[in-house]
Amino acid sequence: MKKSLFAKLYHTFVLGLKVDLLLAVTAGFVTFVTSELSNSRAPSLVRLAAAIEPEVNIGWKVTIIISVILTFLLAYEILLHAKRDRVSYLFSSVYKSWLLQRFLHYTETQIRPIIYSAQFTTISRTPAIRSFNRAAQKAVVELNKNTITVFIKLPSSQQAQKIFKEMESDIREEISNRNPDYTISQPIRSKNLMRFDGTKK
């Protein structure tokens, strides 16, 4: 079982957007600092600004390149959806992916009732939750005119997988409630991937 093209591009786009924003903020801050240093009367500070400036320019160039790549990815997905159904389904998919990721996110206080026995409580409160939440952040909802597909990456940790197992019915109910026009099937599991399929009623 493989992820769809949208699911793969979604994670690439989100990661690229985070890196791009981080680079832009960092480059902007360093540009401001070098500008202030250049106006300094101290020769050592002026030389420092001159040494930093080429690095800042590289940072801006990388930011622009990433922005162009992200724009092409977005344009590509928009064209695909325009041909297949409607562009609005693309933005609905992104929004519902975010909603599902937020629904799946667990805190330590939420996780305790799910743990099977006391011996697992201490172990699971930190590593299992982190593993679970990392996997939850990669959940993707792909909405189309007649179908809906939900991809959830399963964590490698056994304890974190138990949490997913306990939540299967809750996840299915959440997907159904968010998409009442679709009939959601039981999940299909293959290796480290869980998939829910749905068809238009």
pLDDT digits (tens, 9 = 90+) for 175-195: 999 999 999 999 888 888 889
pLDDT tens figures, 4-25:
778 888 888 888 888 888 888 8
Instruction: Tell me how crowded residue 93 is: count the other CB atoms within 10 A of its CB.
Output: 22
Chain center to CA of 53 = 33
Helix (H) or strand (E) holding 87: none
Given this model, what pLDDT does residue 123 score? 42
pLDDT band at 109; cut points 50, 70, 90: low
Contact between residue 136 and residue 101 where contact means Cβ atoms under 8 Å apart: yes
Residue 115 confidence (pLDDT) above 50: no
**Alpha helix ranges (H) inside the chain:** 5-38, 43-84, 88-104, 108-111, 118-123, 129-136, 158-178
Given this model, what pLDDT does residue 121 score? 45
Name the 3-class secondary structure at 139.
coil
Contact between residue 163 and residue 114 where contact means Cβ atoms under 8 Å apart: yes
Identify which of 95, 85, 106, 92 has the alpha carbon closest to the alpha carbon of residue 160: 106
